[in-house]
Amino acid sequence: PAARKYTGMVEDCCCDYETVDSINEEVLHPTLQELVKLPFFRYFKVKLWCDCPFWPDDGMCRLRDCSVCECPDNEFPEPFKKPYNGLSPDSMICQEGKPQAAVDKTLDTKVFKGWVETDNPWTSDDETDNNEMTYVNLQLNPERYTGYTGDSARRIWDSIYKENCPKYPSEELCHEKKALYKLISGLHSSISVHIAYDYLLDESTNLWGQNLPLLYDRVLKYPERVQNLYFTYLFVLRAVTKAADYLEQAEYNTGNPEDDLKTQSLVKQLLYHPKLRSACPKPFDEAKLWQGENGPELKQEIQKQFRNISAIMDCVGCEKCRLWGKLQVLGLGTALKILFSVDGDNNLNQPLQLQRNEVIALFNLLNRLSESVKFVHEKGSSIEEVIKEQ
């Protein structure tokens, strides 16, 4: 096998690359793959309405197959209200019409029984049940290439990076801002990996397959993007293991006792796996953050920035991308809530309580990251050869 490209500790984390790859491939990936197929984890409640509060004038949400944009003038920061320069009319064509971008909303009759309704200070979603909510079977809607590209997609990423988590000139930025940047960049890498893993290679014959040059161009060529993917994976894994007691006791009730027992036992197997517990007992050390003099203010600032990122997901102009964007940002928001907003926190000394949708998002996000880490590990060392051959 080719030599490993990434060795040593994952930056700002507590495990090394070799360990991450081995626990991922032996424990997490196989367990998560099984888990997300079970009824509890495969249905996600989401408002897929294109309810974009930013860029009121660009017409994005008024096109056919998109939805009406109310654009309320509320608390969002000024930069978001400015019209975006350089957006050509062509680029505003909504991508919803493409078959690969559409969400399959057919569902079987399994019920989605609600857990508690509880707030998440890190996200902007209102989870209250109403008729705008759709229940989506995630298994019918894999995250993959959708054709969503161009200025509209670029604008979302640009605004996330520019307005919310500016790329850090390393020595200037505090740990916390750096962590937010890395979380988003790691998620971005993972989305790109999924596009490369499942790509529409030939539209005329509807041939899907791996696009390795794309994997290289968007992710592998940039070591920082790979490092951030591992960082995000370990961060989310830490949240899941920190919430182990809660997650173990939660009710995975979908009305099908056999499936539900299996869910419970797989969750337990994952949380307490001896290899995970011994090889990487604390994937990330959250106690290092918010320790400075202005910790509490900084936390509020970053929380607000993350809420904005969560709100921007309503502006993603492709339904399937919006679905996975919302799910994964909710998953990250849930990890942030577990690590920083409950239990032992000086400001918010409350016990952990998660919504059903938060748990679904958290595990599905971890599964997506785990798939990305596996694919990057498999292709990472040999890809330069592959690219040269093509």
Residues that bind ligand FAD (CB under 6 A): 143, 145-146, 148-149, 153-154, 156-157, 185, 188-189, 191-192, 195, 218, 225, 316, 320-321, 324-325
| CB nearer to ligand FAD: pick between 325 and 333 | 325
Token pair recorded at residue 124: 């902007």
Q: At its nearest, how many Å lie between ligand FAD and the CB of residue 59? A: 18
Q: At its nearest, how many Å lie between ligand FAD and the CB of residue 65? A: 17
| CB nearer to ligand FAD: pick between 191 and 266 | 191
Residue whose pair of structure tokens reads 């509020």 in the numeric block: 300
H-state helical runs in the chain: 17-23, 29-35, 39-42, 78-81, 150-159, 175-197, 212-215, 223-242, 244-249, 257-271, 274-279, 295-312, 319-340, 356-380, 383-389
Q: How many CB atoms lie within 10 A of CB 52?
A: 25
Q: How many CB atoms lie within 10 A of CB 208?
A: 15
| CB nearer to ligand FAD: pick between 101 and 267 | 101
Q: At its nearest, how many Å lie between ligand FAD and the CB of residue 329? A: 8
* Of the candidates 116, 125, 110, 142, the residue with the CA atom closest to the CA atom of residue 43: 110
| CB nearer to ligand FAD: pick between 190 and 264 | 190
| CB nearer to ligand FAD: pick between 156 and 267 | 156
Buried b / exposed e over 133-152, threshold 16 CB at 10 Å, is bbebbbeebebbbbbbebbb
| CB nearer to ligand FAD: pick between 241 and 357 | 357
Q: At its nearest, how many Å lie between ligand FAD and the CB of residue 42? A: 17
| CB nearer to ligand FAD: pick between 276 and 330 | 330
* Of the candidates 348, 350, 306, 349, the residue with the CA atom closest to the CA atom of residue 331: 306
Q: Specify the pairing of strand 207-209 against strand 43-47.
A: unpaired
Q: At its nearest, how many Å lie between ligand FAD and the CB of residue 321? A: 3
Longest dimension (CA), the chain: 60
Q: At its nearest, how many Å lie between ligand FAD and the CB of residue 390? A: 18
Q: At its nearest, how many Å lie between ligand FAD and the CB of residue 309? A: 9
